[in-house]
Each structure stands twice: as C-alpha cells, then as structure tokens.
Amino acid sequence: MSSTALDGALGLIREVPDFPEPGVLFRDISPVLADPAAFRVLVDAMAAGLPAGTDAVVAIEARGFILGAAIAYASGLGLVCVRKPGKLPAVRHRVSYALEYGTATLELPEDTIRAGQRVAIVDDVLATGGTVAATRELVEHAGGIVTGVSVILELAFLKGRDRVPGVDVTALVTT
Ligand SMILES: O=P(O)(O)OC[C@H]1O[C@H](OP(=O)(O)OP(=O)(O)O)[C@H](O)[C@@H]1O
Ligand SMILES: Nc1ncnc2[nH]cnc12
C-alpha cells in the first residue's frame, strides 16, 4: 500500500468546528467510509498494524464497530463489541467515564472475552482517552490482556495515551 493512498484517505476526514458543542473541532470519518478505496486503505493499514499475538478485536460503539468489524474480518479474528448502556441482554461488566464532551458508560457482553485472551482495542478517534481506558478496564476485568490500541486519529493535545499506561497506542495520523 502506498503512503500516498493512505495520506489521501486520511485527507478525507472532515473537520467540523463547534460540534457537538462549542469549542470542539469534530473529526468526521464519514467521507472516508463512503469512499471505497479510502476505506480499504485505512482498514488494511490498521489490520497490518495489529500487534503480533492478538487473537481478537475489541471495537467500541459506534464508530469503532465499523472499523473493528472490517479489521477483524480482514485479519481472521473474532470481534467483541463494547456497547453503550441498555443494548445488551447480558452484561459482564460496566464502566462510566468522562468524554471530551459529556459523560458515557460502556458495557462488555457476557461470554466474549476469555481469561488470558489477547485483544486489540479499535476505535476511530483517541481524544481524552476516557473511552479506551474504560474499555481496557472492561477487558482486564474479564481477564483479557490488551495488546494495543489502534485508532485512525489521535488528538495529541488531549493526552489520551496517558490514560492507558503500558499499552501500545498506534494512530494513523496524530494532530
Ligand atoms: O478519547 P475520548 O475522549 O474518550 O473520545 C473518543 C471517543 O469519542 C467518540 O465516540 P462517541 O462517544 O462520540 O460516540 P460514537 O462513536 O457513537 O459517535 C469516538 O468515536 C471515541 O469512541
Ligand atoms: N474531536 C473529536 N472528533 C471526533 N470524535 C471525537 N471524540 C472525542 N472527541 C472527538
């Protein structure tokens, strides 16, 4: 894959000022997903960067699902979907946390992660890191091991990677 193709794909991310609230510059990946070549390049790059020994992908609702499902399929791995509250019939564990905007809760489904299983966390954007830190807590509570975090875009000024110490964070682009 050429870095030009990847750069072109990343260039499709739309920046929306003051969404969902004043002062937030929202990074919208919708145009990337809508472009077949860009979507493929992005998924392939994230799949290629999964840490060796990863045996499942954990994806975070909602944008993380899109990427996580494609990456898991491309890599021949299982997919664990960490969900927002009220969606799962059987919850293993739940964690609440603060976002760049507002607060949120995530839940891990029962019978997904096995003790000792090595999982990579996938999402679109790493901002404050609250979401991936909560997901790490869910994984580790179930006895899983986080091999790494993979995102398209990292907002470095929010220092999200500091919220997951000891975990390798890979971003296709950092801003
Ligand atoms: O690093 P953080 O500060 O935790 O923020 C990053 C999270 O915020 C966004 O999700 P959002 O909760 O907006 O939900 P969505 O994917 O359903 O749009 C994004 O998709 C990440 O999951
Ligand atoms: N600025 C941002 N753009 C897109 N998703 C986000 N999640 C948290 N902050 C975000």
pLDDT in tens, 39-98: 999 999 999 999 999 999 999 999 999 999 999 999 999 999 999 999 999 999 999 998
SS3 150: strand
Distances (CA, A) of 100 to 14, 46, 63, 126: 18, 24, 16, 10
CA distance 21 to 101: 7
- Ligand closest to the CA atom of residue 96: 1
pTM: 0.97
Q: How confident is the model at residue 99 (pLDDT cuts 50, 70, 90)?
A: confident
The residue assigned the tokens 């607060």 is 103
Residue 62 near ligand 1, beta carbon < 6 Å: yes
The answer to whether 92 and 72 are in contact (CB under 8 A) is no
CA distance 144 to 58: 11
Annotation says 163 is catalytic: no
Q: What is the pLDDT of residue 3?
A: 80
Tell me, what's the ipTM? 0.98
Annotation says 100 is catalytic: yes
Distance 125 CA to ligand 1 centre (A): 7
H or E segment and range at residue 130: helix 130-141
Q: How confident is the model at residue 1 (pLDDT cuts 50, 70, 90)?
A: low
Q: How confident is the model at residue 36 (pLDDT cuts 50, 70, 90)?
A: very high
Q: What residues pair up with 120 in beta bridges, in sequence order?
A: 57, 148
Select which of 100, 107, 137, 154 is catalytic: 100
